[in-house]
Amino acid sequence: MKIAVLDAKTLGDDLDFSSLESLGEVISYETTDSSERLERVNDIDIVITNKVIISKEIMEKSPQLKFIAISATGMNNVDLDYAKERGIIVKNVAGYSTKSVVQHTFSMALYLLEKMDYYNGVVKSGEWSNSGLFTDVSRPFGEISNMRWGVIGLGAIGGEVATVARAFGADVCYYSTSGDNLNQPYQHLNLDELLSSCDIVSIHSPLNSKTQNLINSSNLSNLRDGAIILNLGRGGIVNEADLAEELDRREIYAGLDVLEQEPILRDNPLLSVVNQDRLLITPHIAWTSREARVKLLDGVVENIREFING
Which tens digits make up the pLDDT trace of 139-182?
A: 999 999 999 999 999 999 999 999 999 999 999 999 999 999 99
pLDDT at residue 120, rounded to an integer: 97
Mean of all residue pLDDT scores within the chain: 97
To the question of domain 2-94+290-309 being in CATH 3.40.50.970, the answer is: no
Q: What is the mean pLDDT of residues 80-86?
A: 98
Name the burial class of residue 59, with classes exposed (0-12), middle (13-18) and buried (19+) by CB atoms within 10 angstroms of its CB: buried
Catalytic residues: 234, 262, 284
Q: What is the mean pLDDT of residues 208-225?
A: 98
The CA distance from 243 to 108, in Å, is: 17
Go through 190-212 and write b for each residue having 16 or more CB atoms within 10 A of its CB, e for each that does not: ebeebbebbbbbbbbbbbeeebe
Go through 131-144 and write b for each residue having 16 or more CB atoms within 10 A of its CB, e for each that does not: eeeeeeeeeeeeeb
Furthest-apart CA pair in the chain: how many Å? 74
pLDDT at residue 307, rounded to an integer: 98
CB 229 within 8 A of CB 257: no
Task: Name the residue ranges covered by the structural domains of the chain.
Answer: 2-94+290-309, 98-281
pLDDT band at 252 (very low <50, low <70, confident <90, very high): very high
The CA distance from 195 to 21, in Å, is: 50
87's torsion region: left (phi>0), alpha (psi -120 to 50) or beta?
left
The CA distance from 20 to 29, in Å, is: 14
Written as one letter, the residue type at 1 is: M
CB 230 within 8 A of CB 105: yes
Q: What is the mean pLDDT of residues 211-225?
A: 98
Local structure of 63: helix, strand or coil: coil
To the question of domain 98-281 being in CATH 3.40.50.720, the answer is: yes
pLDDT at residue 76, rounded to an integer: 92
CB 229 within 8 A of CB 252: yes
| Beta strand residue intervals within 120-193, DSSP E | 148-152, 171-175, 187-188
- Among 200, 199, 175, 202, which Cα is nearest to 189's? 175
pTM attached to this predicted model: 0.95
Cα 130 to the chain's mean position, in Å?
41
2-94+290-309 and 98-281 in the same fold: yes
Go through 249-270 and write b for each residue having 16 or more CB atoms within 10 A of its CB, e for each that does not: eeebbbbbbbbbeeebeeebbb
pLDDT at residue 161, rounded to an integer: 98
Local structure of 28: helix, strand or coil: strand
pLDDT band at 310 (very low <50, low <70, confident <90, very high): confident
Local structure of 298: helix, strand or coil: helix
Half-sphere exposure of 217 (CA within 13 A, CB side): 5
> Tens digit of pLDDT for each residue in 104-133?
999 999 999 999 999 999 999 999 999 999
CB 102 within 8 A of CB 164: yes
pLDDT at residue 106, rounded to an integer: 98
pLDDT at residue 90, rounded to an integer: 98
The CA distance from 59 to 41, in Å, is: 8
Residues 6+ apart with CB under 8 A from 5: 17, 20, 26, 27, 28, 29, 48
